Structure 1
Amino acid sequence: MFIRIRQFLNQFFNKSRTINNEPLNKVSLIVIILIDIFILINVFTGLDDISRWHISPNQAYPCYAEWQDYLTQTNKDKDYEIIRRSLTHSINNQPSFQQTYQQVEAGHLGKVSETCLNYAADKDKIKNPENRQIIQTIDQKQTKVNNLDQTNRQIRSQYDSTLLEKIAGQPREQSINAVGAEKAKLELEQNQRNISILKKEISNLKTELITKPESVGFIAFLQDDDKFKTVKKGYQQSSFWYPSIQLAFQSLFLIPLIFIALLVNKFTQARRYGLISLISWHLLVIFFIPLILKIFEFLQIGVVFQFIFDIVSALFGGLLFLISYVYILIIPLVGFGIIKFMQKVVFNSQVQAANRIQKSRCIHCAKKIRPHDIYCPHCGTYQYIECPNCHNVTYKHLPYCKECGSPQNSTN
């Protein structure tokens, strides 16, 4: 295996820095690298764009997170808080919640959940001028409460200091506080009464808001378990399949590029178009890099990962670190399979030798030679090998002897 990996790497780097087996000069190599970087950036940009073509689970079920947060809250004011959030940012010219949800469908694949659209429609009913006015009034009264609380804290600090001065027998005219203890006490009591009145008014306004018909309908919608279960199930299924959909679209973007680059590389190698062959080879590598990275990324979050996760969970319970062991075993095997594929298809010495012999070219450097040349005059490579069966000379790397037709050792 290690010998094959070393051969693969040697062939890879040789193809990446030579034109017709002639090494590139440093300037040309720098230019090629800069082109590679530019194309790679654009490939990843294209992959990012196409991966967003299908709407995400959060876009398909935009109500799920807010709905789930509401159901898990234990705050007694949660009905008021969710209605308030629906009104806080509402502006006259702002699109409705339903329009906002549906906007993600434009130019994308996938549909927004019908239940979430109904959810948005109920939220839109709450967004009326009367309810916005109630929220503004609540905010104004709450601001007054906060100001009074701040004033009381300042008065208390002065009141405590005045009491200490009084206990110590210090004359009032020598006090560092502008307000006396009696006056401070009266002001504290008055402010506290005002705070109580304001808080009661705020409570009444909140009750008025959440008992409005549109608010009651919205809260009833939120408390419908069947509707939420439908959204939750759809969101979970969408989250499960979304990585696979993204990989499919990313593959759809990359595979035609890989196929075209491979065809151009094969064609230009056969025609001895060295520079185009080199560039097409670099393009082929550049297109393969993100594909391999996306496949590994998918293996960490996609259907395969979920399948392994479910098996490990069922067999070993909480020992989920065993998933790492599974990947440590699988990934090298996948890498070995890729290398074998590259050796058999891209770097197949028998296929290359057959093409070169048919065109009277050196089996090593692919330069033109005469049919009776035993050694290549360009690189000095011996073109033949002795047949182990008839002991006549036959072509290297071809599967059968040209004299007796017996199978040849494929490693020669």
Structure 2
Amino acid sequence: MIATIRRFINQFFRKSRSINNKPLNALSLSVVIIIDIFILFNVFSGLDNISQWHLSPSQAYPCRSDWESYRDSKDQNNRDYKVLASAFERDPKQSQFQQIERDAEKDRLGKVSPICLNYAKLKDRVNIPENRKIQQNIRQKSDKVSSLEQANNNIRSQYDSTLLEKIAGQGSSQSINTVSAEKAKQVLAQNKVSISTLETEVSTLKESLAQKTESISLINLIKDDSKYQIINQEYDRASFWYPSIQLAFQAIFLLPLIAIALIVHRLALRKNAGLIALISFHLLAIFFIPLLLKIFEFLQIGAIFQFFLNIVTRLFGGLLFLVSYLYILLIPLVGFSIIKISQKLTPSSKSQVANRFKNQLCLNCAKKIRSHDTHCPHCGYAQYIECQNCHELTYKHLTHCKECGYLQDASPLLPSEFPPNTNR
């Protein structure tokens, strides 16, 4: 297997740096590399665009995060209000929540969950001028409470230093503190009363907001466990299949490019169009690189990985490291299979020599020669070798003598593997 890989790599680099078995010069190689980088960048850009064609799970079920936050909230007293407050996050001048979620479906595959659309519709109903005014009062009073609490904290932190200033006989004009020691307790008490009053008013405003018909409908929906279970199950199912869907779309984008590049490359080899063969070979490699990367990415996070992960979890509990053993075995097998397929797609050395003989091409440089030429007029390479049996001249690198049919000892070589010309 190591020899096969080494031969494949050597063949790959020979084909990517030569035209008709002649190496590219530095300028040509630089131009080819720049073209490769440009095309590769655009291929990945196209893959990114087509992979977003289908709605992601978070886009198809945008309300799930609100449901999760509501159930995970440790502040049971304020969790209803937080849901209502989220309805005011959208500026009234902007599109409504429901419209935003419907816009996500435009020119894309997949649908937003009807439950989430209904949830967005209820949020839009809460976000009306009357309720926004209540919410604005709540925020203003809450800000005042925070300001008073911060002031009390400052006074408490400065109380010890104000006492020291008083003992030292330092005047109030020279004090660095905001409140003198005599007034500290009085200001603290006044602030506490103000805080208590404001908190009562905030609580009343929150209660009035929660009693609105549209608010009750929104809270009842998010409290509905059956709806949550539907959303959660559909989200998990979508998350399971989304990597597979992405890979399918990416394959739809790449496979036609690979097929076209492969057809052009094989035609160029037959027609001896060296430059076209080189460019199409580079394109073939460029199109294969992102496909392989996406396949490996899919194996890590896609449905296959999840399938094997579930099996390992059920059989071995927490021994998930066993999945690593699976990939250590799986990835080399995948790589070996790709190499074997690629080797089959690449014309064999025997067929290349036979095709060049059939088309009256030089066995070394593949340029056109006459049938009776013993040496190539382009590169000087000898086309014939003496048969070991009948001692007549026969074509090099073909398995049998053209005169007596005797099996030659020398096995056919790839044109790029032909020995240096010694018959010039």
* TM-score normalized with structure 1 length: 0.89
8 Å contact 1:16–1:278 — kept in the other structure? yes
Pair 1:10-2:10 in alignment: yes
Pair 1:105-2:73 in alignment: no
C-alpha RMSD of the superposition: 3.0
User: In structure 1, how many angstroms separate the alpha carbons of the residues matched to 2:216 and 2:235?
Assistant: 26
1:239-254 superposed matches below 5 A: 239-254=239-254
In structure 2, do the counterparts of structure 1 residues 158 and 272 end up closer, same or farther at CA, with 3 Å as the change threshold? closer
8 Å contact 1:60–1:113 — kept in the other structure? yes
Q: Which residue of 2 aligns with 1:235?
A: 235
**Deviation of 1:387 (Å):** 10
Deviates more, 1:169-178 or 1:68-77: 169-178
1:338-353 superposed matches below 5 A: 338-353=338-353
Q: Which residue of 2 aligns with 1:356?
A: 356
Q: Which residue of 2 aligns with 1:84?
A: 85
* Number of residue pairs aligned between Structure 1 and Structure 2: 409
User: In structure 2, how many angstroms separate the alpha carbons of the residues matched to 1:337 and 1:127?
Assistant: 59
Q: Which residue of 1 aligns with 2:26?
A: 26
User: In structure 2, how many angstroms separate the alpha carbons of the residues matched to 1:251 and 1:306?
Assistant: 20
In structure 2, do the counterparts of structure 1 residues 351 and 110 end up closer, same or farther at CA, with 3 Å as the change threshold? farther
8 Å contact 2:387–2:408 — kept in the other structure? no
Residue 87 of structure 2 aligns to a residue whose secondary structure is helix
User: In structure 1, how many angstroms separate the alpha carbons of the residues matched to 2:135 and 2:244?
Assistant: 45
Q: Which residue of 1 aligns with 2:329?
A: 329
Letter of the 1:240 partner, please give it: F
Q: Which residue of 2 aligns with 1:185?
A: 185
8 Å contact 2:254–2:291 — kept in the other structure? yes
User: In structure 2, how many angstroms separate the alpha carbons of the residues matched to 1:409 and 1:212?
Assistant: 96
In structure 2, do the counterparts of structure 1 residues 399 and 242 end up closer, same or farther at CA, with 3 Å as the change threshold? farther
Q: Which residue of 1 aligns with 2:138?
A: 138
Q: Which residue of 1 aligns with 2:203?
A: 203
In structure 2, do the counterparts of structure 1 residues 175 and 277 end up closer, same or farther at CA, with 3 Å as the change threshold? closer
Letter of the 1:99 partner, please give it: Q
Q: Which residue of 1 aligns with 2:226?
A: 226
8 Å contact 2:261–2:283 — kept in the other structure? yes
Cα distance per residue 1:97-139 (max 9 Å; x no partner): 1111111111111111111111111111111111111111011
1:286-297 superposed matches below 5 A: 286-297=286-297
Pair 1:262-2:262 in alignment: yes
8 Å contact 1:376–1:383 — kept in the other structure? no
**Deviation of 1:365 (Å):** 3.7
In structure 2, do the counterparts of structure 1 residues 165 and 297 end up closer, same or farther at CA, with 3 Å as the change threshold? closer
- Percentage of pairs with the same residue: 54
**Deviation of 1:361 (Å):** 2.4
In structure 2, do the counterparts of structure 1 residues 288 and 158 end up closer, same or farther at CA, with 3 Å as the change threshold? closer
Q: Which residue of 2 aligns with 1:74?
A: 74
User: In structure 2, how many angstroms separate the alpha carbons of the residues matched to 1:370 and 1:236?
Assistant: 69
User: In structure 2, how many angstroms separate the alpha carbons of the residues matched to 1:100 and 1:34?
Assistant: 41
Deviates more, 1:178-187 or 1:323-332: 178-187
Cα distance per residue 1:136-186 (max 9 Å; x no partner): 1011111222222233334445554454566x5959889846855443332
> Which sections of structure 2, spanning at least 5 residues, go unmatched?
413-424
1:307-318 superposed matches below 5 A: 307-318=307-318
Q: Which residue of 2 aligns with 1:151?
A: 151
User: In structure 2, how many angstroms separate the alpha carbons of the residues matched to 1:180 and 1:136?
Assistant: 35
In structure 2, do the counterparts of structure 1 residues 21 and 164 end up closer, same or farther at CA, with 3 Å as the change threshold? closer
User: In structure 2, how many angstroms separate the alpha carbons of the residues matched to 1:208 and 1:20?
Assistant: 84
**Deviation of 1:385 (Å):** 9.8
**Deviation of 1:266 (Å):** 1.4
Deviates more, 1:25-34 or 1:174-183: 174-183
User: In structure 2, how many angstroms separate the alpha carbons of the residues matched to 1:64 and 1:46?
Assistant: 30
> Which sections of structure 1, spanning at least 5 residues, go unmatched?
none
In structure 2, do the counterparts of structure 1 residues 343 and 362 end up closer, same or farther at CA, with 3 Å as the change threshold? farther
8 Å contact 1:21–1:365 — kept in the other structure? yes
8 Å contact 1:394–1:402 — kept in the other structure? yes
* TM-score normalized with structure 2 length: 0.87
In structure 2, do the counterparts of structure 1 residues 84 and 373 end up closer, same or farther at CA, with 3 Å as the change threshold? same
User: In structure 1, how many angstroms separate the alpha carbons of the residues matched to 2:386 and 2:218?
Assistant: 85
**Deviation of 1:386 (Å):** 7.1
User: In structure 1, how many angstroms separate the alpha carbons of the residues matched to 2:279 and 2:214?
Assistant: 65
In structure 2, do the counterparts of structure 1 residues 112 and 175 end up closer, same or farther at CA, with 3 Å as the change threshold? closer
User: In structure 1, how many angstroms separate the alpha carbons of the residues matched to 2:259 and 2:309?
Assistant: 34
1:296-307 superposed matches below 5 A: 296-307=296-307
